[in-house]
Amino acid sequence: MIKKIGVLTSGGDAPGMNAAIRAVVRTALSKGMEVYGIRRGYVGLINGDIFQMDARSVSDIIHRGGTMLYTARCPEFRTEEGLDRAKAKCEELGLEGLVVIGGDGSFRGAADLSARGILCVGIPGTIDNDIACTEYTIGYDTAMNTAMELADKLRDTSQSHDRCTVVEVMGRNAGYIAVNTGIACGAIEVITKEMPYDLDSLAKKMLEAKKNGKQNFVVVVAEGIGNSTEIANVLQEKTGIESRATILGHVQRGGSPTVRDRVAATEFAYYAVGLLEQGIGNRVVGMQNNEIVDFDIQEALAMKKPYEEKLHKIAEEIGF
């Protein structure tokens, strides 16, 4: 039986991470385990910025965005020396297991630490939903709802001015946020790296729709494309329709998590602590067919996630 575990958040923050921390702490306590919070991800693990948590440590956080444990990127953790220091710190404190809430990079670190005898279980936390072993990652729903609300606001002004609004959403290299937001806000076109696009045919489509009485045009662009202002300029040039680009940026990472994020975070965390309790490490928790499951970290990292091509095609077909 594992009796003492730690919890940390690592990489980019995501709304719902606090709900996950809360559930890790409360689950561990309910199972009679001691639980320690580690600040700023692997940085805090290496430097010993670690404190014991009780039930009240996680009061009043379930509805808050961000992460009460803070997060960081830690280049030192990628080195042998950094990993040895982290292991030594765990041993000094008697931490036998660790819950790592983050993305693929954080899980690579968790695998390295597991190989050194510290049991690590990863929980997928990123707004991008780009982790292959899971249908869902904490923060995705909140980020998309934020993007949709902001795109709706842009549509108001766009409609008033007979303009085109090019909205760039986050997603690192993945188009999941873009395609879902595009559908949700009635975009005429979604542009992602996963599907070919052609600005000439988009311009033609816009002009035909204009002839047909359409007044505003929302084009959602995934950040991986990297040139939304240029796309707006090209569309304006080709169509004569005034166009503006807006990069939504980090606002998508903040805000109170939605029900979906709070519930998913809680389920992942409950399951992760259950694995550690049984002495199982080097796993990452995921969601498949709405069920919580777990995978070997290396196997999870080798998986490929399909793009939502069907959804993308629907967006293309009915955006006119």
Strand partners, 9: 101
Give me the least distance between CB of 110 and ligand ADP, in Å please. Answer: 8
HEC-encoded secondary structure of 209-262? HHHCCCCCEEEEEEHHHCCHHHHHHHHHHHHCCCEEEEECHHHHHCCCCCHHHH
Q: Check: CB of residue 287 under 8 Å from CB of residue 154.
A: no
Q: Pick the binder of ligand ADP from 78, 116, 193, 210 (CB under 6 A).
A: 78
**Residue that the structure tokens 């503006």 belong to:** 244
3-state secondary structure of 169: strand
Q: Check: CB of residue 132 under 8 Å from CB of residue 303.
A: yes
Using the contact rule CB under 6 A, the part of the chain among 8-16, 27-35, 59-67, 289-297 near ligand ADP is 8-16
Q: Pick the binder of ligand ADP from 6, 16, 97, 102 (CB under 6 A).
A: 102
Pick the closer one to ligand ADP by CB: 45 or 218. 45
Identify what 19 binds: ligand F6P, ligand ADP, none; CB under 5 to 8 Å per kind: none
Identify what 127 binds: ligand ADP, ligand F6P, none; CB under 5 to 8 Å per kind: ligand F6P
Q: Is 294 a catalytic residue?
A: no
Nearest 5°: the CA angle 234, 201, 164 is 50
Q: Check: CB of residue 300 under 8 Å from CB of residue 104.
A: no
Q: DSSP string of 279-320?
A: T--SEEEEEETTEEEEEEHHHHHH--PPP-HHHHHHHHHH--
73 counts as binding ligand ADP under rule CB under 6 A? yes
Q: Whats the size of the chain, residue-wise?
A: 320
If one counts every other C-beta atom within 10 angstroms of the C-beta of residue 248, the result is 21
Identify what 170 binds: ligand ADP, ligand F6P, none; CB under 5 to 8 Å per kind: ligand F6P
Identify what 112 binds: ligand F6P, ligand ADP, none; CB under 5 to 8 Å per kind: ligand ADP
Using the contact rule CB under 6 A, the part of the chain among 102-110, 152-160, 223-231, 293-301 near ligand ADP is 102-110
- Please give the residues from 131 up to 170 whose contact with ligand F6P meets the rule CB under 6 A: 170
What kind and span of H or E run contains 96?
Answer: none
Pick the closer one to ligand F6P by CB: 28 or 248. 248
Give me the least distance between CB of 57 and ligand F6P, in Å please. Answer: 26
305 counts as binding ligand ADP under rule CB under 6 A? no
Contacts of 205 (CB under 8 A, 6+ apart): 188, 189, 319, 320
Q: Pick the binder of ligand F6P from 22, 205, 253, 262 (CB under 6 A).
A: 253
Judged by the rule CB under 6 A, the positions of this chain that interact with ligand ADP are 10-12, 42, 73-74, 77-78, 102-106, 108-109, 112, 126
Query: What is the binding site for ligand F6P (CB under 6 A)?
Result: 12, 126-128, 170-172, 223, 253
Catalytic residues: 128
